[in-house]
Amino acid sequence: MKNIYIKAFCILTLGLTFASCNDYLDDAPKGSKIPTTLADYEAFLRDEYSNQSVDAAQALNLMNDKFIDIATLAAERLTKANYMWDETADRIDLKQSDERMYYGQYQGISTFNLIIENALTTTEATEDQKRIIWAEAKILRAMSYYNLVNFYADTYDASTAKTKLSVPLITSADVNAPSKQVTIQELYDFILNDVKEALPYLPKVSQTALHPNLGAGYAFNSRVYLQMSNYTEALKYANLALTENNRLYDWNAYYVANKTVIDLPNSYTNTPSPMGYDYVENYTYRHGASTSLSTEFSLPVERAQRFEAGDVRFKSRWKIRTVGVETYYRRTLSGMFNYGGITTVEIYLIKAECLARAGQISDALTSLNAVRKTRIQPSSYQDIVTTDRTVALNAIFKTKNNELILTLIPFADARRLNAEGVYKVSFSKVDNGTTYNLSSTSHLWTMPFPQGAVKNPGNGTITQNVAK
């Protein structure tokens, strides 16, 4: 793996190198500031573009959750392999360039390691203030490892988690720190322990949207336990998270307020995104895969058709457009989008799934319908009512996939459901008269490590988790 460095501390220019961050801190260049106060370290949490973004682009491609035009498919062979579900493609060979998911998450981890190592010994702060920053860095580090393990390793399965490898585990900010590619079980244990240690010190109110609060800690724990199919613990922490924040944004009100612009035929004038830093559903905020942070991705027609009739959240964000031979749903919002953090709607739907699996169908649908009422036009809305667990769960999965589209979560959920083997996820599409399929057992559900990481693993080793 390429050595991950913190640019404010370790400089590699004009042949000047430092063996480690610690060495550099002992001898800072003239004009540079050696971090000593808690505020110095806390500032790194605010570096949202480097440390707090989640680029799950290839997962979105595999899910066909974003529109890829003909020119891009011709130019980007890895994108085409995932988007067209080409099981014959050697994705390892195609992944010759660096990948933002891998290096971006490890850059954040290096920053969070630095804070965890130093926050408790900083100056100009109380012990309580130090513990808060330390705990926030623990949550953010755990979130980054969750993203990595659910992208580059097979999904969690209790029967194989102790033997299958995950990703390199690094707990030091030193650029020469040793790393070990631990098992999936070991990494999940590490993630859960980080959360356990952080929870007692997380504040109830965030300093900014980038700083995880107590609700974010509970919500993330619920997400992790759900991925482990531990529905009892996932429900427990979902309830705790909703006690901290249970607000849902009223997309019906947004649509009414912007209806004149949204419904204007053949107009793609952008309306403001409400899903930014102050979105009422935020537990914690992180950017997503788009390199243009002020816009979101457009959708394929086939994907757009899976939204529920009367969904004004969908209608407010995308509008059908034809350019040449290509028809797609063009994005129409501008602003910021919380694609890498955690929101209340995810936790409502985790709660709904856990309740349904426990046989509490009525309560599960209460949680599901609470979300739908804020999304579906009153003229189209009807409560989903059923006593059948499978019907209820499929409705929950559909809503969750639509609500969390363009995030890593639908990909992670599909992998979890495929491993379970009951509610398996597969896709089929027809393109230019040819039928393409993605089976629930395809090796494409696990992404290969970038070649640079395998060929240059730093102070450790990396074994590919897929054959191609």
pLDDT at 191 over 50: yes
What type of residue sits at position 79?
A: T
Q: Supply the pLDDT for residue 11.
A: 28
Residue 14 has pLDDT above 90, yes or no: no
- 248-262, 284-298, 410-424: which range is least confident on average? 284-298
**pLDDT for the residue 3:** 42
236-241 LR contacts (CB < 8 Å, sep 24+): 238/347, 238/348, 238/350, 238/351, 238/354, 239/351, 241/215, 241/216, 241/283, 241/344, 241/347
pLDDT value for 466: 94
Q: What is the pLDDT of residues 307-318, one digit of tens each?
A: 999 999 999 999
Element (H, E) at 25: helix 21-26
* Domain limits, CATH 1.25.40.390, in the chain: 21-244+444-455
Helix (H) or strand (E) holding 361: helix 361-372
Contacts of 4-11 with C-beta under 8 Å, sequence gap 24+, read 4/103, 4/106, 4/107, 4/109, 4/110, 4/170, 4/175, 5/110, 5/175, 6/44, 6/110, 6/111, 6/114, 6/173, 7/50, 8/35, 8/44, 9/35, 9/114, 10/175
Give the ranges where 211-360 is alpha helix by DSSP (H): 214-227, 231-244, 251-262, 301-304, 312-315, 344-357
Share of the chain above pLDDT 70, in %: 92
What was the pLDDT predicted at 96?
A: 81
Phi, psi of 109, rounded to the nearest 5 degrees: -60, -40
**Helix (H, G, I), strand (E, B), or coil: what is residue 20?**
coil
Q: What's the half-sphere exposure (Cβ side, CA atoms, 13 Å) at 220?
A: 33
Task: Report the C-alpha gap between 259 and 268 in whole angstroms.
Answer: 13
The mean pLDDT value for 160-170 works out to 97
Q: According to DSSP H, which parts of 30-176 are helical? A: 38-42, 48-51, 57-63, 70-75, 77-83, 91-94, 100-118, 127-152
Q: Is the pLDDT of residue 6 over 70?
A: no
- The amino acid that residue 333 corresponds to is L
Whether residue 126 has pLDDT greater than 90: yes
Q: What percent of the chain has pLDDT over 90?
A: 84
Give me the mean pLDDT over the 237-241 stretch. 98
pLDDT tens digits along 312-351: 999 999 999 999 999 999 999 999 999 999 999 999 999 9
Average pLDDT over residues 138-153: 98
List pLDDT tens digits, range 199-230.
Answer: 999 999 999 999 999 999 999 999 999 999 99
User: What is the chain's mean pLDDT, rounded?
Assistant: 91
- Phi and psi at 165, nearest 5°, equal -80, 150
Confidence of residue 293 (pLDDT cuts 50, 70, 90): low
Q: What is the pLDDT of residue 33?
A: 65
- Tens-digit pLDDT profile for residues 433-463: 999 999 999 999 999 999 999 988 888 889 9
Least confident window among 10-24, 154-168, 219-233? 10-24
Distance CA 275, CA 287 (A): 11
- Whether residue 375 is predicted with pLDDT greater than 50 in this model: the reply is yes
First to last CA, the chain: 19
CB 120 within 8 A of CB 130: yes
pLDDT band at 50 (very low <50, low <70, confident <90, very high): confident
Q: Does the predicted model carry a pTM greater than 0.85?
A: yes
Position 32 scores a pLDDT of 56
Q: Of 4-13, 51-60, 81-90, which gets the smallest average pLDDT?
A: 4-13
Q: Which pLDDT belongs to residue 361?
A: 98
31 Cβ partners below 8 Å, 6+ apart? none
Q: Residue 425: what pLDDT?
A: 98
CA distance 372 to 370: 6
Per-residue pLDDT, averaged over 240-260, amounts to 97
What pLDDT, in 10s, does the model give residues 59-86? 999 999 999 999 999 999 999 999 999 9
Q: What is the pLDDT of residue 291?
A: 57
Instruction: Say which residue the tokens 């790393």 belong to.
Output: 179
Q: What is the mean pLDDT of residues 27-33?
A: 51
Does the domain at 21-244+444-455 match CATH 3.90.700.10? Answer given as no
CB 315 within 8 A of CB 262: yes
Which among 48, 57, 40, 181 is positioned nearest to 122, based on CA atoms? 40
Quick: pLDDT tens for 401-430: 999 999 999 999 999 999 999 999 999 999
How many CB atoms are closer than 10 A to CB 288? 22
How is residue 342 annotated by DSSP?
E
- DSSP E strands, 273-411: 282-284, 299-300, 318-323, 326-331, 333-334, 342-343
